[in-house]
Amino acid sequence: MSDPLVDRLRAAGCVFAEEEAALLRGAAGGAAELERLAARRETGEPLEHVVGWARFLGLRVAVGPGVFVPRPRTELLGARALHLVRDLAPGAVVVELCCGAGALALAVALAAPHLEVHAADVDPGALAWARRNLEPVGAAVHEGDLWRALPGRLRGRVDLLLADAPYVPTDEVRLMPAEARLHEPRVALDGGGDGLDVHRRLLAGAPAWLAPGARLLLETGASQADADLALARAAGLAARVLRDEDLDATCLEATAP
């Protein structure tokens, strides 16, 4: 027998209509709320915004209107971060810049509660979600532009820096799916002319904030990896590119001298 909710979602263009219908039903407290949630999804609002969470590295990260939705591809960076934190001493400092909802910082804080975890973003709307995710696990959240957001006492003390900073070229933002283009903050998507404006500033400032031997993990695009590699090396960092074809994910890993 046909499922009316599945049929509605499929007609709205939802490729995984059956799975989405199950998630919507799980998020709704009753028939009236289910109708409201289904109507929001039909208009093209991201499913994660509608149900209130996104799955990331097996976690439920709280998200909603006004925040970037963590992507599956960022799990390459996240998995590498979880591997690296195993070797960090108690009290070591981990920072997520351009944190959005704070998915990376949340994964680290839960896996390694002995570390000092910070997250920062320039967007107040995104930070409301970051605080919701991170304050319960003891991570600090800061508002500001890249390094300027961080307390001065962290200068030269960051042992692991994580960032999924925007890297979509300005002219390509219009080509993104409507879910992202219309419902996520432009500041979380638009990386400037070649997509690397934020990356340039982040990598140039990194040496002053990283502790000796610290690691930096930065998500990037496959076509931009070589440029990011050159930027990291120009900043005095040893660097390499990580790639996962299954996730279609690319990440720069850099090490401070």
Task: Answer yes or no: do 37 and 90 share one domain.
Answer: no
Q: What mean pLDDT comes out for the span 187-206?
A: 97
Predicted pLDDT of residue 7? 84
Per the structure, the complete domain to which residue 156 belongs is given by: 73-256
Predicted pLDDT of residue 2? 82
Q: What is the pTM of this model?
A: 0.95
Is the pLDDT at 6 greater than 90, yes or no?
no
Predicted pLDDT of residue 168? 97
Predicted pLDDT of residue 67? 97
Task: Answer yes or no: do 116 and 210 share one domain.
Answer: yes
Predicted pLDDT of residue 189? 97
Task: Answer yes or no: do 11 and 136 share one domain.
Answer: no
Task: Answer yes or no: do 226 and 141 share one domain.
Answer: yes
Q: How many domains does the chain have?
A: 2
Would you say residue 60 lies in a domain? no
Task: Answer yes or no: do 252 and 141 share one domain.
Answer: yes
Task: Answer yes or no: do 30 and 78 share one domain.
Answer: no
- Helix residue ranges per DSSP H, the chain: 4-11, 17-27, 31-42, 47-51, 75-85, 103-111, 124-134, 178-183, 197-209, 225-234
Task: Answer yes or no: do 33 and 77 share one domain.
Answer: no
Predicted pLDDT of residue 252? 98
What pairs with residue 190 in β-bridges?
168
For residue 128, give the CATH number of its domain: 3.40.50.150
Cα pseudo-dihedral 236, 237, 240, 241, rounded to 10: -100
Predicted pLDDT of residue 214? 98
**Cα–Cα dist 126/113, whole Å:** 23
Would you say residue 39 lies in a domain? yes
User: Using alpha carbons only, what angle is made at residue 220 by residues 191 and 248, rounded to the nearest 5 degrees?
Assistant: 125
Is the pLDDT at 4 greater than 90, yes or no?
no
Predicted pLDDT of residue 254? 98
Predicted pLDDT of residue 232? 98
Q: What mean pLDDT comes out for the span 113-117?
A: 97
Assign 133 a pLDDT band (cuts: 50, 70, 90).
Answer: very high
Task: Answer yes or no: do 32 and 156 share one domain.
Answer: no
Computed over every residue of the chain, the mean pLDDT equals 96
Would you say residue 222 lies in a domain? yes
